[in-house]
A = this chain, B = another copy of it.
Amino acid sequence: MTELRIAIVGFGKIARDQHVAAIAATPGATLAAIASRNASLPDLPHFATIEELLSKGPPIDAVSLCTPPQVRRAQAASALAAGKHVMLEKPPGVSVSELDPLIAQAERSKRTLFATWHSRYAPAVEPAREWLAARRISSVHISWKEDVRVWHPGQTWIWQPGGLGVFDPGINALSILTRIMPRPVFVTAATLSFPSNCEAPIAADLTLADATGLPITAEFDFRQTGPQSWDVIVETDGGRMTLSGGGRRMAVDGKVLSEAPDAEYRELYHRFVELAATGAADVDLSPFRLVADAFMLGKRTIVEPFVD
């Protein structure tokens, strides 16, 4: 198999924290270049923009877009037009509808479009899904509470329109939920707390259901100091299943059934290499649609201003 030569576009926190090491650890993938306004890596070709990368850069097969979601659609369209496979960080854009033309373009050009949901690749997610498939579920509660100052320091884009605020981590929880539930879920009510000086919510409470009326609640909060929580708790006829640590540990009635260290981004690149081999697409917009729905039907409350 020939190597998939990948350029990272947008070299911010997530690219540095996760993508570089994940590409290095993935058989069949090579980091070939970086496009970023102001960051680079030693010994790697660097370009200020994706246009420069595509016109003057070394030969590449794919781009991994780690830029803020507000600019990703145009970059993905350029990359597909240049015949590259495209991997999108989450969320895949600023609107659900803007993905449609990209999906069509990828299909026409026989190139891979991969809208990633890294949390779905957390090690206990598949075990949880399989365990739940054989149980009767009576309720689900999600608690996703983290300190925005720790996890998103100085990321102003997150507070701008399209930045999603607390739904940036919250969509990880929704990507797990939509994967492990046996039936499609939808939002029935939401309360969104907007800081008086921000364009995106800092906290959100959601009520969801499936067609059988299953009660699902979710609390997202960016103001959590002290212990952080990334937990999904599912009550079933076989006991209480807890998927914690963002999908890394699964326990039933306190007994740990599955636990493994994080390898989410390596799994993502493994999948990307696999998809690109045939130009197949992997675009599931269901987590993003839940977020859009929550904004549409959510009740807004104004809370105290947020200062980073």
Contact = CB atoms under 8 A, between A and B. Distances in A.
A24 interface: no
B186 A297 contact: no
A187 B49 CA distance: 24
A161 B286 contact: no
Contacts of A298: 161
A79 interface: no
Select the residue from A184, A210, A293, A297 with max chain B CB neighbours within 10 A: A297
Nearest to A95: B293
A33 interface: no
A137 to B, nearest CB: 16
Interface string A31-43: 0000000000000
A300 interface: yes
Contacts of A299: 161, 199
Contacts of A289: 96-97, 289, 292
Nearest to A288: B296
Contacts of A77: 211
Nearest to A293: B95
Contacts of A164: 296
Interface in A279-308: 286, 289-293, 295-300
Interface string A169-204: 000000000000001111111100010000100000
Contact of A161 (B94, B95, B189): B189
13 contacts: A95-B186, A95-B187, A97-B186, A98-B186, A98-B187, A98-B188, A100-B184, A101-B184, A101-B211, A105-B211, A164-B296, A289-B289, A291-B296
Interface string A148-180: 000000000000011010000000000000000
| Interface of A, helix, strand, loop or mixed by DSSP | mixed
Contacts of A194: 300
A184 B97 contact: yes
Interface residues of A, number: 37
Contacts of A161: 189-190, 297-299
Q: Point out which of A183, A186, A291 has the most chain B C-beta atoms below 10 A from its C-beta.
A: A186
Among A100, A104, A190, max chain B CB count under 10 A is at A100
Given A77-B211, A161-B189, A189-B161, A296 B101 contact: no
B210 A101 contact: yes
Nearest to A69: B297
B186 A100 contact: yes
Nearest to A101: B211
A117 to B, nearest CB: 16
Given A95-B188, A295-B295, 11 more contacts: A94-B293, A95-B186, A95-B187, A95-B296, A96-B296, A97-B293, A161-B189, A161-B299, A289-B292, A292-B292, A296-B296
